[in-house]
Amino acid sequence: MPNELTKANINLYAVLRNMEELCELDRTMYDLIQNRNLSIQFSATNGPKALLSFKSGKCHFTRGTGKNNIKLYFKSPKHFNQLIEGTANPIPLKGFTKLSFLTKDFTKLTEKLTYYLTPTDERLKDPSYLKINTILTAYTAFYALGEIGNTDAIGKLNASRIPDGIINISVLNGGPSIHIIASKGHLEIKKGLASSPRASMTFADMETTNLVLNGKIDTYTCIASEKIKMKGYIPMLDNMNKLLSQVPAFL
């Protein structure tokens, strides 16, 4: 059974952090935050902490704490997970006059995020939905991979087997790109590509990435058909893929 800390880290650092992309990619959500200028602090005892800031029509996610207008406290990682599952509420410590933002606009944002992260065959027929689903799912999967490698027992074992260095991951034809920094068993995920990776994995297009991330085709089939290309120090990619296979158990 997934441990509560890893699950909470993923829920905040991998899932909710997608608010940044959601507000850029979905016009309705973009319009919704145009006149908003406030920050929400999420803070769980012995668990994750992060700041979501809305300003000048953009959303910015920051790991840790910072200046905020609304502060939401959680007694434990499990309490935060219960919020995500819809079975518990946060404890507001600050910003009582701004709580209407949480119950109205922020609720619309989380509902739209859930919509994009729960694809159906019918929804995926829409090219714009497929694009946003692929981008958000990719960021979720690879940021989650980092959290599993840093806090889950089996994940830490797999992460410790990744040789030190940088792995570049990219999706061609308009997809996202990230890089993973492996150092002594610790993983750090960052957006964009690094200039001197030790290994890299490249997806040919959005469609291939979507099929892989939604479990409709396996990685090895895509490698054989050259829809996924790998180069560099392959042991890094082999052990990274073991971590990636753990992600569905936490989502």
Question: 5-45 pLDDT, tens per residue?
Answer: 999 999 999 999 999 999 999 999 999 999 889 999 999 99
193-220 pLDDT, tens digit per residue, is 999 999 999 999 988 888 888 888 888 8
Instruction: Please state, in angstroms and rounded to a whole number, the distance separating the CA atoms of residues 14 and 122.
Output: 25
Mean pLDDT, the chain, whole residue set: 93
131-190 pLDDT, tens digit per residue, is 999 999 999 999 999 999 999 999 999 999 999 999 999 999 888 999 999 999 999 999
pLDDT surpassing 60 at residue 130: yes
Contact present, 142 and 13 (Cβ < 8 Å): no
Instruction: Please state, in angstroms and rounded to a whole number, the distance separating the CA atoms of residues 153 and 122.
Output: 38
| pLDDT score at 215 | 81
| pLDDT score at 54 | 95
Report percent pLDDT > 90 for the chain: 78
pLDDT surpassing 80 at residue 2: no
pTM value? 0.92
CB atoms within 10 A of CB 238: 14
Choose between 2 and 196: higher pLDDT: 196
Contact present, 82 and 89 (Cβ < 8 Å): no
**Tokens for 181?**
């920094």
| pLDDT score at 72 | 96
| pLDDT score at 213 | 84
Exposure string over 4-37, b if 16+ CB within 10 A, otherwise e = bbbbbbbbbbbbbbbbbbbbebbeebeebbeebe
pLDDT band at 68 (very low <50, low <70, confident <90, very high): very high
Instruction: Please state, in angstroms and rounded to a whole number, the distance separating the CA atoms of residues 34 and 233.
Output: 45
Contact present, 133 and 115 (Cβ < 8 Å): no
pLDDT surpassing 80 at residue 251: no
| pLDDT score at 158 | 93
Report percent pLDDT > 70 for the chain: 99
| pLDDT score at 178 | 96
pLDDT surpassing 60 at residue 96: yes
pLDDT band at 1 (very low <50, low <70, confident <90, very high): low
Q: Average pLDDT for residues 110-126, to the nearest whole number? A: 94
| pLDDT score at 136 | 95
Instruction: Please state, in angstroms and rounded to a whole number, the distance separating the CA atoms of residues 38 and 35.
Output: 10
